[in-house]
Homo-oligomer: A and B are copies of this chain.
Amino acid sequence: MPLPYTLLITPLAADAPDDGSWFAETFTEVDSSEPALRVSELSTQRGDGVFETLAVVDGHAQEVQPHLARLARSAQICELPLPNLAQWSAAISAAVAQIPQQGELAIKLVLSRGVENGPSPTAWLHASAATDFSAVRESGVRVITLDRGYDRGVAERAPWLLLGAKTLSYAVNMAALREAHRRGADDTIFVTSDGYVMEGPTSSVILRHNGVFSTPAPSGAILHGTTQTSLFEYLERHGHSVSYRDISVEELRGADAVWLVSSVRLAVAVTELDGRQLPVDAPLTRLFTEYLLSPRD
Protein backbone atom coordinates (compact mmCIF):
# COMPACT_ATOMS: atom_id res chain seq x y z
CA MET A 1 0.00 0.00 0.00
CA PRO A 2 1.60 3.31 -1.03
CA LEU A 3 1.93 6.23 1.37
CA PRO A 4 0.20 8.29 2.52
CA TYR A 5 -2.23 5.79 3.95
CA THR A 6 -5.49 6.89 5.55
CA LEU A 7 -7.94 4.95 7.68
CA LEU A 8 -11.23 6.49 8.74
CA ILE A 9 -12.33 5.12 12.08
CA THR A 10 -15.88 4.91 13.43
CA PRO A 11 -15.10 5.58 17.07
CA LEU A 12 -16.42 3.07 19.58
CA ALA A 13 -17.35 4.02 23.12
CA ALA A 14 -14.47 3.63 25.57
CA ASP A 15 -16.32 0.79 27.30
CA ALA A 16 -17.41 -1.12 24.18
CA PRO A 17 -16.74 -4.88 24.34
CA ASP A 18 -13.06 -5.21 23.65
CA ASP A 19 -12.64 -8.70 22.26
CA GLY A 20 -11.58 -6.84 19.13
CA SER A 21 -13.14 -9.31 16.72
CA TRP A 22 -15.17 -6.61 15.02
CA PHE A 23 -12.78 -3.66 15.18
CA ALA A 24 -11.88 -4.14 11.52
CA GLU A 25 -15.48 -3.34 10.57
CA THR A 26 -14.99 0.13 12.06
CA PHE A 27 -12.01 0.94 9.82
CA THR A 28 -12.37 2.24 6.27
CA GLU A 29 -9.38 2.73 4.03
CA VAL A 30 -9.70 5.87 1.95
CA ASP A 31 -7.60 7.32 -0.83
CA SER A 32 -5.50 10.03 0.85
CA SER A 33 -5.71 12.23 -2.22
CA GLU A 34 -9.52 12.21 -2.13
CA PRO A 35 -11.76 14.29 0.13
CA ALA A 36 -12.69 12.45 3.32
CA LEU A 37 -14.06 15.17 5.61
CA ARG A 38 -17.06 17.45 5.38
CA VAL A 39 -16.64 21.21 5.64
CA SER A 40 -18.84 21.16 8.74
CA GLU A 41 -16.16 19.16 10.60
CA LEU A 42 -15.43 20.90 13.88
CA SER A 43 -11.77 19.91 13.52
CA THR A 44 -11.57 22.21 10.55
CA GLN A 45 -14.03 24.90 11.67
CA ARG A 46 -12.80 25.23 15.25
CA GLY A 47 -9.57 23.25 15.58
CA ASP A 48 -11.77 21.28 17.95
CA GLY A 49 -10.22 17.89 18.45
CA VAL A 50 -7.07 16.20 19.71
CA PHE A 51 -4.24 14.33 18.06
CA GLU A 52 -1.10 12.30 18.48
CA THR A 53 1.84 11.73 16.16
CA LEU A 54 3.89 8.62 16.60
CA ALA A 55 6.84 7.18 14.74
CA VAL A 56 6.97 3.86 12.92
CA VAL A 57 10.53 2.58 12.52
CA ASP A 58 11.14 -0.44 10.31
CA GLY A 59 7.58 -1.60 10.79
CA HIS A 60 7.43 -1.05 14.56
CA ALA A 61 5.06 1.60 15.92
CA GLN A 62 6.86 3.33 18.78
CA GLU A 63 5.41 3.94 22.23
CA VAL A 64 1.85 3.10 21.20
CA GLN A 65 0.44 2.89 24.74
CA PRO A 66 1.96 6.17 26.02
CA HIS A 67 0.62 7.95 22.92
CA LEU A 68 -2.83 6.43 23.39
CA ALA A 69 -2.80 7.32 27.09
CA ARG A 70 -2.05 10.92 26.17
CA LEU A 71 -4.77 10.89 23.49
CA ALA A 72 -7.22 9.82 26.20
CA ARG A 73 -5.94 12.53 28.55
CA SER A 74 -6.30 15.18 25.84
CA ALA A 75 -9.83 13.95 25.10
CA GLN A 76 -10.70 14.15 28.79
CA ILE A 77 -9.41 17.73 29.11
CA CYS A 78 -11.40 18.70 25.99
CA GLU A 79 -14.51 16.81 27.16
CA LEU A 80 -14.56 14.66 24.08
CA PRO A 81 -15.97 11.14 24.31
CA LEU A 82 -13.10 9.07 25.65
CA PRO A 83 -11.42 6.99 22.95
CA ASN A 84 -11.60 3.22 22.97
CA LEU A 85 -7.89 2.54 23.27
CA ALA A 86 -8.15 -1.10 22.19
CA GLN A 87 -9.81 0.08 18.99
CA TRP A 88 -7.14 2.72 18.36
CA SER A 89 -4.42 0.20 19.06
CA ALA A 90 -6.03 -2.16 16.55
CA ALA A 91 -6.21 0.66 14.00
CA ILE A 92 -2.49 1.32 14.40
CA SER A 93 -1.76 -2.39 13.96
CA ALA A 94 -3.99 -2.54 10.89
CA ALA A 95 -2.19 0.44 9.39
CA VAL A 96 1.28 -0.83 10.23
CA ALA A 97 0.45 -4.09 8.45
CA GLN A 98 -0.31 -2.14 5.29
CA ILE A 99 2.55 0.35 5.16
CA PRO A 100 6.26 -0.11 4.29
CA GLN A 101 8.21 -2.20 6.78
CA GLN A 102 11.46 -0.29 6.25
CA GLY A 103 12.47 3.23 7.14
CA GLU A 104 10.88 5.93 9.25
CA LEU A 105 7.21 6.78 8.96
CA ALA A 106 4.82 8.96 10.95
CA ILE A 107 1.32 8.03 12.01
CA LYS A 108 -1.05 10.77 13.05
CA LEU A 109 -4.14 9.93 15.09
CA VAL A 110 -6.96 12.49 15.08
CA LEU A 111 -10.07 12.52 17.24
CA SER A 112 -12.34 15.40 16.26
CA ARG A 113 -15.55 16.54 17.90
CA GLY A 114 -17.23 15.59 14.64
CA VAL A 115 -19.50 17.49 12.32
CA GLU A 116 -21.35 20.44 13.74
CA ASN A 117 -24.43 19.29 15.67
CA GLY A 118 -23.54 15.76 14.63
CA PRO A 119 -24.06 12.67 16.73
CA SER A 120 -20.51 11.51 17.28
CA PRO A 121 -16.83 12.31 16.97
CA THR A 122 -14.90 11.81 13.77
CA ALA A 123 -11.65 9.87 13.89
CA TRP A 124 -8.92 8.91 11.52
CA LEU A 125 -5.38 7.70 11.20
CA HIS A 126 -3.00 9.09 8.61
CA ALA A 127 0.36 7.47 7.87
CA SER A 128 3.02 9.20 5.82
CA ALA A 129 6.74 9.03 5.16
CA ALA A 130 8.64 10.89 7.88
CA THR A 131 10.69 13.91 6.91
CA ASP A 132 14.36 12.94 6.66
CA PHE A 133 15.78 14.32 9.90
CA SER A 134 19.13 12.50 9.71
CA ALA A 135 21.08 15.72 9.05
CA VAL A 136 19.50 17.71 11.88
CA ARG A 137 20.04 14.83 14.30
CA GLU A 138 23.75 15.24 13.57
CA SER A 139 24.04 19.00 13.25
CA GLY A 140 21.45 20.16 15.78
CA VAL A 141 19.15 23.17 15.69
CA ARG A 142 19.43 26.88 16.40
CA VAL A 143 16.67 27.95 18.73
CA ILE A 144 15.13 31.18 19.96
CA THR A 145 12.96 31.55 23.03
CA LEU A 146 9.52 33.07 22.52
CA ASP A 147 7.11 34.38 25.13
CA ARG A 148 3.99 32.16 25.25
CA GLY A 149 2.14 35.01 26.96
CA TYR A 150 1.10 32.89 29.96
CA ASP A 151 2.53 32.99 33.46
CA ARG A 152 3.66 29.82 35.21
CA GLY A 153 0.49 29.26 37.23
CA VAL A 154 -2.03 29.71 34.45
CA ALA A 155 -2.98 26.08 33.83
CA GLU A 156 -4.19 25.50 37.38
CA ARG A 157 -6.06 28.81 37.37
CA ALA A 158 -7.64 28.51 33.92
CA PRO A 159 -8.15 24.91 32.78
CA TRP A 160 -10.34 26.14 29.89
CA LEU A 161 -7.09 27.18 28.19
CA LEU A 162 -6.60 23.41 27.56
CA LEU A 163 -2.86 23.75 28.08
CA GLY A 164 -2.31 20.10 28.95
CA ALA A 165 -4.18 18.82 25.89
CA LYS A 166 -2.71 18.20 22.45
CA THR A 167 -5.48 19.92 20.53
CA LEU A 168 -5.80 20.58 16.82
CA SER A 169 -5.69 24.33 17.55
CA TYR A 170 -2.03 24.70 16.62
CA ALA A 171 -2.09 27.99 14.70
CA VAL A 172 0.04 29.66 17.39
CA ASN A 173 2.55 26.79 17.36
CA MET A 174 2.89 27.15 13.60
CA ALA A 175 3.22 30.96 13.85
CA ALA A 176 5.97 30.56 16.45
CA LEU A 177 7.92 28.32 14.07
CA ARG A 178 7.54 30.92 11.31
CA GLU A 179 8.83 33.59 13.70
CA ALA A 180 11.85 31.40 14.48
CA HIS A 181 12.61 30.95 10.78
CA ARG A 182 12.21 34.67 10.19
CA ARG A 183 14.88 35.27 12.82
CA GLY A 184 17.23 32.78 11.19
CA ALA A 185 16.60 30.01 13.73
CA ASP A 186 15.29 26.50 13.17
CA ASP A 187 12.96 26.13 16.13
CA THR A 188 11.72 27.81 19.28
CA ILE A 189 11.22 27.15 22.96
CA PHE A 190 8.19 28.77 24.54
CA VAL A 191 8.80 30.49 27.86
CA THR A 192 6.26 31.81 30.33
CA SER A 193 5.77 35.56 30.68
CA ASP A 194 7.56 35.24 34.04
CA GLY A 195 10.62 33.64 32.47
CA TYR A 196 10.25 29.88 32.86
CA VAL A 197 10.87 27.23 30.24
CA MET A 198 7.79 25.49 28.81
CA GLU A 199 8.21 23.42 25.64
CA GLY A 200 8.77 23.70 21.92
CA PRO A 201 5.75 24.05 19.60
CA THR A 202 6.16 20.39 18.63
CA SER A 203 8.73 19.10 21.13
CA SER A 204 9.76 18.81 24.78
CA VAL A 205 12.85 20.40 26.28
CA ILE A 206 15.53 18.46 28.15
CA LEU A 207 18.63 20.08 29.57
CA ARG A 208 21.67 18.80 31.40
CA HIS A 209 23.31 20.78 34.18
CA ASN A 210 25.95 19.45 36.56
CA GLY A 211 25.28 15.96 35.28
CA VAL A 212 21.54 16.01 36.03
CA PHE A 213 19.00 15.83 33.21
CA SER A 214 15.95 18.06 33.76
CA THR A 215 12.72 18.92 32.03
CA PRO A 216 10.04 21.40 33.12
CA ALA A 217 7.81 20.08 35.89
CA PRO A 218 4.49 18.75 34.61
CA SER A 219 2.10 21.45 35.75
CA GLY A 220 -0.79 21.22 33.36
CA ALA A 221 0.75 24.01 31.29
CA ILE A 222 2.84 21.77 29.08
CA LEU A 223 2.31 18.45 27.37
CA HIS A 224 3.76 15.38 28.98
CA GLY A 225 6.28 14.34 26.35
CA THR A 226 6.19 10.69 25.36
CA THR A 227 9.73 10.86 23.94
CA GLN A 228 10.99 12.82 26.95
CA THR A 229 9.53 10.20 29.30
CA SER A 230 11.09 7.40 27.26
CA LEU A 231 14.49 9.11 27.29
CA PHE A 232 14.32 9.70 31.05
CA GLU A 233 13.66 5.98 31.56
CA TYR A 234 16.66 5.24 29.35
CA LEU A 235 18.86 7.69 31.27
CA GLU A 236 17.82 6.28 34.65
CA ARG A 237 18.53 2.74 33.46
CA HIS A 238 22.03 3.95 32.63
CA GLY A 239 22.58 5.44 36.06
CA HIS A 240 21.89 9.10 35.30
CA SER A 241 19.88 11.43 37.51
CA VAL A 242 16.74 12.97 36.09
CA SER A 243 14.58 15.68 37.52
CA TYR A 244 11.27 17.43 36.88
CA ARG A 245 11.41 21.03 38.07
CA ASP A 246 10.83 24.66 37.26
CA ILE A 247 13.58 25.81 34.93
CA SER A 248 14.27 29.49 34.39
CA VAL A 249 15.42 30.85 31.06
CA GLU A 250 18.73 31.78 32.72
CA GLU A 251 19.28 28.14 33.72
CA LEU A 252 18.52 27.05 30.17
CA ARG A 253 21.13 29.48 28.88
CA GLY A 254 23.68 28.15 31.35
CA ALA A 255 23.04 24.46 30.62
CA ASP A 256 25.79 21.99 29.70
CA ALA A 257 23.56 20.69 26.92
CA VAL A 258 19.98 21.16 25.70
CA TRP A 259 17.85 18.91 23.50
CA LEU A 260 14.47 19.22 21.83
CA VAL A 261 12.83 15.81 21.76
CA SER A 262 9.80 14.64 19.82
CA SER A 263 8.39 11.44 18.41
CA VAL A 264 9.49 11.69 14.80
CA ARG A 265 12.46 14.07 14.73
CA LEU A 266 13.68 12.36 17.95
CA ALA A 267 16.40 14.11 20.02
CA VAL A 268 18.13 17.06 18.43
CA ALA A 269 20.82 19.09 20.15
CA VAL A 270 20.28 22.82 20.58
CA THR A 271 23.49 24.34 19.26
CA GLU A 272 22.54 27.97 19.65
CA LEU A 273 20.04 29.66 21.95
CA ASP A 274 18.96 33.24 21.30
CA GLY A 275 22.08 33.78 19.24
CA ARG A 276 24.54 32.33 21.79
CA GLN A 277 26.35 29.03 21.29
CA LEU A 278 25.48 26.18 23.62
CA PRO A 279 27.76 23.24 24.40
CA VAL A 280 26.78 20.12 22.45
CA ASP A 281 27.30 16.52 23.53
CA ALA A 282 27.44 14.87 20.13
CA PRO A 283 28.26 11.33 21.34
CA LEU A 284 25.35 11.32 23.79
CA THR A 285 23.01 12.74 21.15
CA ARG A 286 23.99 9.81 18.89
CA LEU A 287 23.24 7.38 21.71
CA PHE A 288 19.83 9.04 22.13
CA THR A 289 19.14 8.66 18.42
CA GLU A 290 20.20 5.02 18.47
CA TYR A 291 17.96 4.31 21.46
CA LEU A 292 15.01 6.22 20.07
CA LEU A 293 15.25 4.37 16.75
CA SER A 294 15.25 1.00 18.52
CA PRO A 295 11.87 -0.73 18.98
CA ARG A 296 10.16 0.84 22.01
CA ASP A 297 6.83 -0.02 23.59
**Interface residues, chain A, CB within 8 Å of chain B?**
4, 6, 30, 32-41, 43-49, 51, 78-79, 108, 110, 112, 124, 126, 146-151, 154, 157-162, 165, 167-176, 178-179, 193
Partner of A151, one of B40, B124, B161, B193: B193
**Closest 4 CB pairs between A and B?**
A47-B47, A169-B169, A169-B171, A46-B170
Task: From the candidates B45, B149, B165, name the one contacting A51 in the complex (CB within 8 A).
Answer: B45
Task: Using CB atoms, name the residue of chain B closest to A41.
Answer: B44
Neighbouring B residues of A165 by C-beta, 8 Å:
171
Q: Which B residues lie within 8 Å of A150 (CB)?
A: 149-150
Partner pick for A158 among B4, B146, B167, CB 8 A cutoff: B146
> Which of these, B112, B149, B157, contacts A154 with CB under 8 Å?
B149
Q: Say yes or no: B37 contacts A44, CB within 8 Å.
A: yes
CA distance A161 to B78 in the complex (A): 21
Closest to A188 in B: B160
B contact residues around A147 at 8 Å (CB): 154, 157-158
Contact B39 A174 (CB under 8 A): no
A194 → chain B closest CB, angstroms:
10
Q: Residues of B contacting A126 with CB < 8 Å? A: 39-40
In angstroms, how far is the closest chain B Cβ from the Cβ of A255?
A: 24
Measured between alpha carbons, how far is A4 from B147 in the docked complex, in Å? 41
Knowing that A35-B35, A41-B44, A161-B175 are A-B contacts, what are 4 other residue pairs whose CB atoms are under 8 Å apart, sorted by A's residue number? A44-B44, A45-B168, A47-B169, A48-B174
